Structures are given as structure tokens and as C-alpha cells.
């Protein structure tokens, strides 16, 4: 699997409450010939322990950025990664929504593992549970032409979630 990068360098966008972990590090990043993994999350970007854990998860030879959404959006919109193959991973749907609202072009949004929600949720897939606000954000992105899918592993067939939003 090799997606073509957008002019801003993005090849894939994933929401995963574990950020970079086993499947992302061993399947997605190598499978897409990623040159930069970008974790987008405000809290993690300010947490030295999270920064170290995420860096240790990245395969050797792949550059790493762990940024707050506003900084990530500025870097992407400025073309800082235009010559790279950037795999973007947000911890929460809101992290990716902030990129979208800042004008970052996104090829699609892959909901890999969104399980932190409890209470009143909509189950979109086996590993995807969204609250009403997240569902609204996803619908807005879908309505703007961004495919919203669930694809846990890169060897799974993507499931179009747009009709469920």
C-alpha cells in the first residue's frame, strides 16, 4: 500500500487513542513508506514522558514530530513537510478537526481506535465509539469531501463511515 502524498506531505491521517503503538509502528508507518510520523495532541506535546514514549515507538530512520494541533497546522500549511511522506496520528478526533479548521488539506480520516468514550455514544465500528460532538466534527469533515473511514490495520478493507454520520 502506497498512498501518494498531498502537496503538504500528508499520506495518511489516523485517529488512535493510543497514538503510535504496535500496529501503527509495525504496519502502517513502514507499509506507507513514511518518512515522518506526526503525532498531534496538545497534552502529549507538553508531556516529556509522552514525548519519549512516542519517540521510542517510531521505527528507526523515520523522523518524528509531536506537536500541538495549532503548531502542526502551521507547519503543514507552511509546506515544512512538502518533500516528505507524513503519517499524521491524532489522539482524539478533535485533534484532527483542529487541523481541518485551520485549513490543512487531509486525504481522509481513518478512525483506527477511538475507544475512550463512555456514556452515550454511537458505535461506528468495532473499535470506534464517538460522542455527539465528535460525530458532528466527523460529519462536517465528511460534508467538506474528506472520506471518513475505519481501517484498523492496513491489510483490512477500509469501511466508509460517512453514511453513519
CA pair distance 120, 125, nearest whole angstrom: 15
Fold exhibited by the domain 10-164 = Fructose Permease (3.40.35)
pLDDT of amino acid 1:
45
- List, for residues 66-108, the tens digit of each pLDDT value: 999 999 999 999 999 999 999 999 999 999 999 999 999 999 9
Band (54; pLDDT cuts 50, 70, 90): confident
Domain spans of the chain?
Answer: 10-164
pLDDT of amino acid 101:
98
Whether the pLDDT of residue 2 is over 70: the answer is: no
**C-alpha distance across the termini of the chain, in Å:** 27
SS3 11: strand
In this prediction the pTM is 0.94
CA pair distance 150, 148, nearest whole angstrom: 7
Cell of 66: 509531536
| Full DSSP string of 72-136 | HHHHHHTTTTTTS-EEEEESSHHHHHHHHHTT---S-EEEEEB----SS-EEEETTEEE-HHHHH
Amino acid at each position: 500500500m502506497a498512498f501518494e502524498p498531498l502537496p503538504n506531505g500528508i499520506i495518511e491521517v489516523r485517529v488512535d487513542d493510543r497514538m503510535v503503538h504496535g500496529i501503527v509502528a509495525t504496519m502502517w508507518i513502514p507499509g506507507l513508506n513514511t518518512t515522518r510520523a506526526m503525532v498531534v495532541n496538545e497534552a502529549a506535546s507538553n508531556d516529556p514522558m509522552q514525548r519519549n514514549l512516542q519517540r521510542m515507538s517510531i521505527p528507526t530512520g523515520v523522523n518524528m514530530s509531536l506537536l500541538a494541533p495549532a503548531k502542526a497546522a502551521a507547519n503543514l500549511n507552511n509546506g515544512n513537510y512538502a518533500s516528505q511522506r507524513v503519517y499524521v496520528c491524532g489522539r482524539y478526533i478533535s485533534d484532527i478537526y483542529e487541523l481541518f479548521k485551520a485549513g490543512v488539506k487531509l486525504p481522509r480520516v481513518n478512525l483506527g481506535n477511538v475507544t475512550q468514550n463512555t456514556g452515550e455514544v454511537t458505535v461506528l465500528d468495532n473499535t470506534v465509539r464517538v460522542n455527539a460532538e465528535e460525530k458532528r466534527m466527523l460529519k462536517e469533515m465528511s460534508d467538506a469531501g474528506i472520506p471518513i473511514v475505519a481501517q484498523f490495520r492496513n491489510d483490512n478493507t477500509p469501511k466508509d463511515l460517512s453514511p453513519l454520520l
